[in-house]
């Protein structure tokens, strides 16, 4: 599943091709995605795309009358192609531009989304209750510490809660906890302020590094230019069960936390 760095890499890839262009047409070949694509998306036709923003894992294409909201789901990808480029299987939506290009949304599993947010309206429910962005000053160790008091949930699940902080998915949660030296199954309420300061900084570093290197290589993810990300070769624990820890050479362990595969080093993480 594309995580925050992959979505941010997609934003960076498509933005130069979209900002300042006018939407010439929107072709919906398959309206039944995670949620049915509303007819209101056509309000963007004839409007200039003024900005391409990201909120959590959602991309917002802003026009004067509202925003097209895109979510990649589990297997979605975005490509900027010529309008006359032959359509491939699972190419569900084309956002055609006046420069002869189109933003093409491909989603084999159809867990993605294409929605509409009218200008001036309250944020749609999906966006309204989200926590802060992890790479901003609004997110820090103090916030994690204060919200974690008396929480018995595993710290890994705690930092993956989008009400606490957005965009810390399974891969990067494992990597951040390893960098901070924290056992992923430890109850969130048992960590002290210092541990959360280290964890918040680790989350920022891991996500920033992933974005810089182009997003993690996942079989379902490609950048807007069609090239895969390259962060996978830098992963310290995720997907490396049984392999030696890069720090202490103990075998990397795996277990299931909250129905997700988790990876950690028993010796380095306490």
Q: 90: annotated binding-site residue?
A: yes
Distance separating alpha carbons of residues 205 and 229, to the nearest angstrom: 17
Active site residue 133: no
Of the candidates 229, 239, 220, 258, the one whose C-alpha atom is nearest the C-alpha of residue 111 is 220
Determine which of 137-151, 208-222, 253-267 has the lowest per-residue pLDDT on average: 208-222
Paired residues of 68 in beta bridges = 61, 116
pLDDT at 224 over 80: no
Distance separating alpha carbons of residues 267 and 270, to the nearest angstrom: 7
Of 11, 57, 104, 156, the active-site residue reads 57
Instruction: Output the average pLDDT for the chain.
Output: 92
Share of the chain above pLDDT 70, in %: 93
Share of the chain above pLDDT 90, in %: 81
Active site residue 123: no
**Average of pLDDT values for 125-129?**
86
**Domains of the chain with bracketed CATH:** 4-128 (3.20.190.10), 141-264 (1.10.8.50)
pLDDT band at 218 (very low <50, low <70, confident <90, very high): very low
Q: 29: annotated binding-site residue?
A: no
Active site residue 57: yes
pLDDT at 62 over 50: yes
Q: In degrees rounded to 5, what are phi and psi of residue 82?
A: -65, 145
Q: 151: annotated binding-site residue?
A: yes
């Amino acid at each position: 599943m594309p995580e925050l760095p992959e979505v941010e890499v997609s934003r960076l890839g498509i933005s130069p091709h979209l900002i300042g262009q006018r939407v010439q047409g929107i072709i919906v070949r398959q309206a039944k995605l995670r949620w049915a694509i509303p007819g209101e998306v056509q309000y963007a036709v004839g409007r200039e795309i003024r900005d391409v923003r990201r909120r959590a894992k959602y991309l917002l294409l802003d026009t004067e009358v509202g925003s097209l909201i895109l979510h990649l789901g589990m297997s979605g990808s975005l490509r900027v192609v010529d309008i006359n480029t032959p359509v491939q299987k699972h190419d569900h939506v084309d956002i055609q531009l006046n420069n002869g290009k189109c933003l093409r949304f491909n989603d084999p599993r159809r867990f993605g989304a294409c929605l509409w947010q009218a200008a001036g309206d309250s944020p749609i429910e999906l966006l309204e209750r989200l926590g802060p962005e992890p790479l901003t000053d609004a997110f820090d160790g103090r916030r994690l510490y204060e919200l974690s008091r008396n929480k018995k949930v595993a710290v890994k699940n705690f930092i993956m809660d989008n009400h606490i902080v957005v965009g810390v998915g399974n891969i990067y949660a494992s990597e951040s906890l390893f960098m901070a030296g924290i056992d992923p199954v430890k109850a969130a309420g048992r960590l002290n302020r210092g541990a959360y300061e280290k964890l918040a900084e680790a989350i920022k570093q891991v996500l920033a590094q992933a974005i810089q290197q182009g997003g993690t290589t996942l079989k379902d993810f490609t950048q807007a230019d069609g090239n895969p990300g390259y962060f996978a070769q830098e992963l310290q624990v995720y997907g490396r069960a049984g392999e030696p820890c890069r720090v202490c050479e103990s075998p990397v362990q795996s277990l299931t936390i909250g129905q997700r595969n988790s990876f950690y080093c028993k010796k380095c993480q306490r």
